[in-house]
Each structure stands twice: as structure tokens, then as C-alpha cells.
Amino acid sequence: MSDNPKIRHNMMANAIRVLSMDAVQAANSGHPGLPMGAADIATVLFTKFLKIDPRQPDWPDRDRFVLSAGHGSMLLYSLHYLMGFEDMTLDEIKNFRQLGSRTAGHPEYGHAAGIETTTGPLGQGLATSVGMALAERMLNSRFGDDLVNHYTYVLASDGDLMEGISHEAISLAGHLKLSKLIVLYDDNDISIDGPLNLAESGDALGRFEAAGWFAERIDGHDPDAIEAAISAAQTLDKPTLIACKTTIGYGAPNKQGTSGVHGAPLGDEEISLTREALGWTSEPFDIPSDILDSWRMAGLKHVSERKAWQERLDAQDSEVSNRFTRVVSGDLPTRLEKAVQEYKQSLAENPSKLATRKSSEDALKAIVPTVPEMIGGSADLTGSNNTRTPEQEAVSADNYGGSFIHYGIREFGMAAAMNGMALHGGFIPYSGTFLVFSDYSRPALRLAALMEQRVIHVLTHDSIGLGEDGPTHQPVEHLAALRAIPNLLTLRPADATETLECWQIALEQSRTPSAMALTRQGLPAVRLEYSEKNLSAKGAYELASADGDALVTLLATGSEVHLAVEAKQQLEAENIGTRVISMPCFELFDKQKSSYRDDVLGNTPVRIAIEAAIRQGWDAYLRPGDGFIGMESFGASAPAERLFEHFGITVDTIVKNAKDRLDT
């Protein structure tokens, strides 16, 4: 290869372009435009800046690269093949978008080494990167520059910046002055429908600047300008946006600069013309050895830095190195179990009537000191969600050593940032909002489940029990909506003991996020005896057995469990044997052996489910003819007690329903 830096750069960038267009063509599906247009940006970043070691892709102090514009996935796959990631072979490139390949249509975390987060839903990659950059600063404050000192780079598209979540994310990043976050904006003026000006006339750079970022526009095909801009960004005390003016589909003579190259293969004729225009004579998927060697040498550039980092870690005091290794690996401290059991004993000895949001706060007071990597937060509802403990200092631009984040009214951005913190490693993020606002954060909750990340969402005011705020704030369908997400635990505890157990469950899920639905209103204790065993861990259990022969089984969650217990007492007074089953987590119950599920559900003549929410999801546990007492409409504005009466979710209703069913 030529010694001329410009020629060398062009040939290395063209390797990305041809691999991308060939893979998309072979799949007859994909987005060649972004990889071809952004190849110059990526070449400069990966060869001159990005601190990674393809042979140790999970090195904790590596730089993070997030392809927020996930539709351009072939850019990332091409880079990984060229750089020498062992699992990104040429066969994987050839099998782009095929079943079982590592090269999915959009980058998926866990499918291949070096994919830092799942992207594709636009805006979420950018927002997730804010959490990664924040985690880097927070971990740095705990362990210092010797162990934690790296950048988070993002390649974003017009679509990323148009999505509403980008506003939330850049505001939070600017407020916290996340100076090691550098966003490279592929500024190509094209969207799927056509020119960007069909739908956008705003000032992207001005928006970032207003949020506290440094922003500038450069020529995205000038490697010297790209290098200079990134070098300058590394010296600033604020996050940086570099708008790189590019031509989408660069090199394709008839399609470059048009929407026609955005999301469709170029076609054989245009590919032939592109090869000619780029001066590329090799066959499809064939990278000349001198070009590949240059890329592989770039992949080895930071091996010495990685080894030096390992030596620094090994030289640390054993307590520091062991703690760093533990938190980065995600292992829980052994002392957590003792803290849980001690607090559970005190709850049995001193039962009280508490809202489960308050029970959650008390549980956190017992747990957080033993698990200091827990990072709390709230979307401007700290006093309502009860997610902050007394010793937790607020994180700020002047104090990354805190352990509580004021996310502001940015539920979606908060959830995405939590995903980024979990993906980065070193922390267990949890945060709060009202259950009804889980709609705002649902796409990020879905990605957390898809990526198998341990994030914990505290969702309070979980039913009509929140009272006077009315139906706009009363979640009716939200439990069903959350339960519909695969690999998400929806936990709805009935009292303080179950709340503690649900926190333990959530923390012990190394590959599953959790949503904890908690009440505003006070609930009496229903667990009155100490049990070392976590009874909630199987998702459902018999809370109270029938005094004699069981005729009725009452299934309930959360705030309705105590209603079931009181109804049992009335039914038993009339010699109607009644069982009460508490079901704090459907998902965990569904994982149990059929023998356990059958034993818990029983086979009494009458079975009734009670939950202040819609019926959807309950029919998995109800037989034809079984009853459900809950919501069939939106709520209303009134005191909580009046609402439960109005909608018929009462002890009297349960008793009458059971007796009527026995009489038929």
C-alpha cells in the first residue's frame, strides 16, 4: 500500500464501503448508504483514537463505541472484521442478516464481541451512551485514572437527533458536563423519505450548544479535519457534537446523495460502477492483503495500553482490585444476604401499615449500604418514589462520587441511561417514576430485556389507589403491558416483607431487568411470621391455607392481597374454607415446575383473581367460569377508598362473588 497517508486512508475507508455494499447486496436487504458515507469518519476514529483490543474486547477500560444509527450495521461489522475481532469472520459478513449469524440487521448486544449495545430504535443508542459516559465518570471517581479513564464515542444520524429521546439525553449530558462523550453526527441531509428538509428545518448544532455542549461542523470526508476535531474534543470540559458533513452512499455514481441508497441494495450495475469509481478491482468480499494488514495493525495499536492497565490493576491493594473486579463483573457482595435476613426478622417482629413505596425506601436503607454500587435516581419524583436513602449524595458535574441521580422529567432518557450504566459495568442502576409513566420509558425497558441487563425500575402509584390525581395518573393497563415484555420481571409486592423479597429478587437477576409496582396508599402487613426463605422468589405461594376443606381460592397481587385475606376471614366465619395465594410475579411463577404451579393454584370449586387493573394476563391462571375482580375501564378522581368502593374492588364484593359461585 502507498506510504501516502491520504491514499492509505482512502483505501482503508474504501474497504469498509465495498464490504458493506457487497454484504447488503448478498442479503438483498440492508442500508448501504450510511456505511459508505461514514467510512471516513470510522476509519479515522478506529485507527487513530479508539482504545480497544480486539483480542480482549471486554477490557474494562476500553473506549466505548456506540453505532446509534444501527441501521448502518454493516459499518460496525466491517470494522470488526477488518480490525481482527475473532468472532467476526468473512463468513459472518457474507451471511449478513441471515438466521443464526452474528451480523443481524441491527447490531445486537451479545451477538458479537465489541457490540456495546443493541441499536436500531433511533435515539436510544445516543441516550444509552450518556449512561455509559456517566458510568465512566462515576467509576473513575471511585477508582481513579489508573483504572478508569476512557471515552464514549457515538456515531449518530439525522434520525437519532429527530427522535424525542435525543432531547432528553443531550440535556442530561450537558447538565452533567460529560466531557468524555463525543458524538459524531453523520450529517448527510437525507432520510428515508428524501431530503431532510421535508421534515426538518431546525438548527441541530444550536440545540446542542443550548444544552451545554460544544458543537461544530466539519467536512466528514476530510480525514485531517476529522482527526483535528476529535483531538480538540478531548481537551474540552463539556460533551462534544461533531457534525460531519457527508454524502450518503459515497462512491456510488448514480445513487450517492439520494434516499435511494439509504435502505436498499445498490444493485449489481451500480456496484460495478462504484468499484470503478473507487478504483477497487478486487472481487466481492476480497480485501487486498496490504489493506487488511493495515487494518489488523490498527487493531493491535492499543494492546500495550491494555497490558499496562492490567499491570496497574494487579499492583493495586487487594481490597481495591477485588472490589473493582467484583463490581465490574456484576457479582453481589456476600454480606447482602445477612442484611436481608436481619431486616426481614425486624419486619416480622414489628409489623406495620405502610405504603409499599415506603416499604421500598426502608428496604433500600437496609440494602444500599451493603451494595454501594447501587445507583438510585428518580424522574423528578424523589419524594414520591422514595428511591433515595439518607447516605446517598446527588451526582453532579462537580461530584461524580454520588450515588443518586436527579434525572429530571426525562423518563425515557432515564431508562436508556440506566441501560448504558448497566452495559458499561460497575453499577446496578435503579430509579423511579409513576407506573403510568412506564409508557414513556417502555422502549428502553424493552431493550433492557432484550439485552438481558439488570436495571431496576421503581414504579409507584400503581393503581386507582393513588386517588385524587385521577385517570390520567391511574395505571389500569400498565401491569399487563409490562408483563407482556419477555424477560422482564414485573414485581408487585403486598407488604413490607414481600417488598424486601422483591428487592432481593431484582438484585439477584444478573440477566433480567425488573419493574417494581408499588403503592401510594398504606397496606397492612400480611406476612406476620419470619421465613428465611424468599417466598416471593417462586412468583406465587400460598399465603394462607383454608381452615378446613378448601372451597375457594383467592389469587391476588399487591394492594389487593390484604382484601383477599380479609375476605377469607369472612368466608371462613361462614364455614367456607378459603385459600389465599399471593402472586407478586407472574413471570417467576410461570418458570416453576408444573407440579408446583398446580399445587399453588389448587383445584377448589371456586377460583377468583383480584387486582386493581385489567384482566389481561390473568386468564393463564383462571379456568373457564372462574372470576376476576378488577378494572374494566379507566379510573376516576376521588379519594382512594371511595374509588375501590366505586369500582367494586372490596372485601364485600369478593365474599359475594365467592358465595354466588358456590351456589351456582
pLDDT in tens, 360-374: 999 999 999 999 999
- Residue whose cell numbers read 387486582: 611
The CA distances from residue 265 to 81, 89, 255, 261, 636, in Å, are 21, 22, 11, 7, 53
As given in the structure block, the three cell numbers for residue 182 are: 463525543
411 carries an active-site annotation: yes
At residue 522, φ and ψ (nearest 5 deg) are: -70, 145
Question: In the prediction, which pLDDT does 1 show?
Answer: 66
pLDDT in tens, 302-337: 999 999 999 999 999 999 999 999 999 999 999 999
Please state, in angstroms and rounded to a whole number, the distance separating the CA atoms of residues 605 and 494.
25
- Partners of 184 in the β-ladder: 155, 242
Q: Kindly tell me if the per-residue pLDDT of 2 is higher than 80.
A: no
* E strand map for 94-177: 152-156
As given in the structure block, the three cell numbers for residue 442 are: 417502555
DSSP state of 17: H
Question: In the prediction, which pLDDT does 638 show?
Answer: 98
pLDDT in tens, 596-648: 999 999 999 999 999 999 999 999 999 999 999 999 999 999 999 999 999 99
Please state, in angstroms and rounded to a whole number, the distance separating the CA atoms of residues 565 and 560.
9
Question: In the prediction, which pLDDT does 3 show?
Answer: 79
The CA distances from residue 386 to 340, 359, 376, 434, in Å, are 19, 9, 10, 11
591: amino acid identity, one letter: K
- Residue whose cell numbers read 439485552: 451
Helix (H) or strand (E) holding 243: strand 240-245
Based on the number of CB atoms within 10 Å of its own CB, is 326 exposed (0-12), middle (13-18) or buried (19 or more)? middle
pLDDT in tens, 235-273: 999 999 999 999 999 999 999 999 999 999 999 999 999
As given in the structure block, the three cell numbers for residue 126 are: 445516543
What's the whole-number mean pLDDT along residues 505-526?
98
Q: Average pLDDT of the chain? A: 98
Question: In the prediction, which pLDDT does 145 show?
Answer: 98
pLDDT band per the 50, 70, 90 thresholds, residue 427: very high
Letter string b/e over residues 157-196, b meaning 16 or more CB atoms within 10 A of that residue's CB: bbbbbbbebbbbbbbbbbebbbbbbbbbbbbbebbeeeeb
As given in the structure block, the three cell numbers for residue 257 are: 446523495
Based on the number of CB atoms within 10 Å of its own CB, is 200 exposed (0-12), middle (13-18) or buried (19 or more)? middle
Helix (H) or strand (E) holding 241: strand 240-245
Which of 411, 498, 501, 566 does the annotation list as catalytic?
411
Q: Kindly tell me if the per-residue pLDDT of 664 is higher than 80.
A: no
- Going by C-alpha positions, the residue among 164, 66, 75, 156 that lies closest to residue 117 is 66
Count of helices and strands (H, E) across the chain: 26, 20
